[in-house]
Amino acid sequence: MKLTFWGAAKTVTGSMHHVEYQGQQILLDCGLYQGRRKDAFARNSQFPFRPTEIDAVVLSHAHTDHTGNLPTLVKNGFRGPIYANPATADLCRAMLPDSAYLQEKDAEFINKRRARRRRLDPVSDGEDATPLYTMEDAEKTIELIQETGPVALHEVAEGLLCQRYDAGHMLGSSALVLEGRRGGDKVRLAFSGDIGRPGLPIIRDPVPLPEVDYLIMESTYGNRLHEASGKVADKLADTVRRTAERGGKIVVPAFAVGRTQQVVLMLHELEIAGRLPSIPIFVDSPLAVNVTEVFRKHPECFDDETYRFLQEEKDPFGFRRLRYVRDVQESKALNDLRGPHIVISASGMCEAGRILHHLRNSVENPRNTILITGYQAENTLGRKIVERMPEVNIFGEPFRLRAEVVKLNELSGHADQNELLAWMAPMARSLKRVFLVHGEGEAQTTLARLIEEHYRIPVSVPDRGESFDLV
């Protein structure tokens, strides 16, 4: 078995790992690389292998940085099966067309602005933007998805079996164990996907994996410990109250899959407890609306607390003051809404979608609050907001960042340093090597040192394109 790292290597986005086994080629995930627009487009549009030669793709979960480049793979000739459990499959059916639509619309918006500038200045430079892939590419991709059981053992290539385990990161998220059974000795390779945290809202906790020979493990928070999650509701309630008192609005960039539903559920619980001011709440994301329907469809993925809430309140993701927005005109009207309110919109890293329009109309007003609810990768607009840069570019234009910025790190869907070490402990005795992916430099260096100290296991932090023979 040969393993090559093409995505999420010494970076946090674009998960894509290439497994070669007995002449067959498998991809573990095929995610979008996110960062500077020009660099991201170049990396996402050009594969370092021939897509026509890939036999299958196995998905860990549905987040865009793990699935969002599948339509480009199909656009370039891939025609094999895409294996996913039922929840992940349903989420991809909602997310991939939405991603294509947003790329088409963002390119259209940027080109209109450039055309306007050219009319004013005929010598202004800048090439027209093109979408990475189209709605047609996304629909062709959906046709290739094959559902597996939620935690079923299934064959992804001849002699190569895959077992799924709950990863606790988001609805349907799985850690994978691949086992090669052809020829001589067995080789067992585990891929963590993204590992969640015990006690996160809605979904079940991550489960331990069996002993394996090799482990590909995410390292997003390998150098950090999360704040205790018990006070996150207090922090959210205080942020809403404080902003409302000064007449501002709360703009919440949130991943349409998972984070939006977590925030909505927390707001619902605060509403029931009488801890929210009487202000309207909007989820302005067609994708989040569709994804919420997928959540409702898969209560088998819920933890006990959310399942009880479902039985008692009927709908964890709907309440009196909450409105879901699909219509474009209604979305635009939110920017003219006066008085305190909450707008939750995608994307979570502020790289595309309706959130850009809300930020454009909010960041310069000090009465407003930008509430960050998840990890922000390097060079993304979300990262620049978190770092409180005095000026940020939105749609290519500079805006002063004067709004308050609040981070809810407690909602992170990624395990922290101690949780990562504890999660891998059951595998430690048999591991020959650990490969750290999906992390930035300091996080990976720190976690690699701790793994070697705790478990005496060699650790590699692979470069993009680096290969290893697994025997």
Neighbours of 429 (CB within 10 A): 9
Spans of all domains in the chain: 2-224+413-469, 229-411
Contact between residue 24 and residue 157 where contact means Cβ atoms under 8 Å apart? yes
Contact between residue 430 and residue 212 where contact means Cβ atoms under 8 Å apart? yes
Closest CA to 35 of 44, 24, 47, 46: 44
Contact between residue 97 and residue 70 where contact means Cβ atoms under 8 Å apart? no
Neighbours of 126 (CB within 10 A): 12
Q: How confident is the model at residue 87 (pLDDT cuts 50, 70, 90)?
A: very high
Residues 6+ apart with CB under 8 A from 150: 85, 86, 87, 164, 172, 300, 301
Quick one: 405 exposed, middle or buried, by C-beta within 10 A (0-12, 13-18, 19+)?
middle
pLDDT of residue 123: 60
The conformation of residue 323, written as its DSSP 8-state character, comes to E
Residues 6+ apart with CB under 8 A from 436: 217, 218, 219, 222, 444, 447, 448, 459, 460, 461
The pLDDT > 90 percentage for the chain reads 71
Number of residues assigned to the chain:
471
Task: Indicate whether 250 pLDDT > 70.
Answer: yes
Closest CA to 355 of 259, 448, 422, 265: 259
The per-residue b/e assignment along 254-268, b for 16 or more CB within 10 angstroms, e otherwise, is bbbbbbbbbbbbbbb
pLDDT of residue 98: 87
pLDDT of residue 209: 95
Residue 397 CA to residue 333 CA, distance in Å, equals 22
- Note whether 2-224+413-469 and 229-411 share their fold: no
Task: Indicate whether 189 pLDDT > 90.
Answer: yes
State the CATH architecture for 2-224+413-469.
4-Layer Sandwich (3.60)
The angle at the Cα of 271, spanning 285 to 318, to the nearest 5 degrees, equals 40
Residue 202 CA to residue 404 CA, distance in Å, equals 29
Residue 115 CA to residue 15 CA, distance in Å, equals 35
Q: Is 202 left (phi over 0), alpha (psi -120 to 50) or beta?
A: left
pLDDT of residue 127: 72
Contact between residue 333 and residue 325 where contact means Cβ atoms under 8 Å apart? no
The per-residue b/e assignment along 26-48, b for 16 or more CB within 10 angstroms, e otherwise, is bbbbbbbbbbeeeebbebbeebe
Q: What is the mean pLDDT of residues 161-181?
A: 95
DSSP H/E element including 385: helix 381-386
Amino acid 419 reads E
Q: What is the mean pLDDT of residues 298-318?
A: 85
**In this predicted model, what pLDDT tens digit does every residue of 131-163 receive, in sequence order?**
999 999 999 999 999 999 877 789 999 999 999
Residue 272 CA to residue 407 CA, distance in Å, equals 24
| 5 backbone dihedrals φ, ψ, rounded to 5° | -100, 115
The angle at the Cα of 421, spanning 417 to 422, to the nearest 5 degrees, equals 115
Q: What is the mean pLDDT of residues 8-21?
A: 96
- Most distant CA atoms of the chain, gap in Å: 70
pLDDT of residue 125: 61
**In this predicted model, what pLDDT tens digit does every residue of 220-240 receive, in sequence order?**
999 999 877 668 889 999 999
Task: Indicate whether 114 pLDDT > 80.
Answer: no
Task: Indicate whether 42 pLDDT > 70.
Answer: yes
Amino acid 348 reads G
Task: Indicate whether 382 pLDDT > 90.
Answer: yes
Residue 207 CA to residue 165 CA, distance in Å, equals 7
pLDDT of residue 103: 84
pLDDT of residue 403: 98
> What are 26's two structure tokens?
């498998």
Q: What is the mean pLDDT of residues 89-96?
A: 95
pTM, to two decimals = 0.85
Q: What is the CATH number of domain 229-411?
A: 3.40.50.10890
- The reply to whether omega before 430 is within 30° of 0 (cis) is no
**Owner of token pair 């109250």:** 241
Q: What is the mean pLDDT of the chain?
A: 92
**In this predicted model, what pLDDT tens digit does every residue of 387-427 receive, in sequence order?**
999 999 998 899 999 999 999 877 888 999 999 999 999 99
pLDDT of residue 126: 64
The conformation of residue 234, written as its DSSP 8-state character, comes to H
Residue 125 CA to residue 204 CA, distance in Å, equals 51
DSSP letter for each residue of 93-156: HHHHHHHHHHHHHHHHHHHHHHHHHHHH-TT---PPP--SS-HHHHHHHHTTEEE--TT-EEEE
**In this predicted model, what pLDDT tens digit does every residue of 198-220 receive, in sequence order?**
888 889 999 999 999 999 999 99
Q: What is the mean pLDDT of residues 441-454?
A: 97
pLDDT of residue 89: 97
DSSP letter for each residue of 19-36: EEETTEEEEE--PPP-SS
The conformation of residue 92, written as its DSSP 8-state character, comes to H
pLDDT of residue 57: 98
Residue 19 CA to residue 56 CA, distance in Å, equals 10
The angle at the Cα of 303, spanning 422 to 225, to the nearest 5 degrees, equals 35
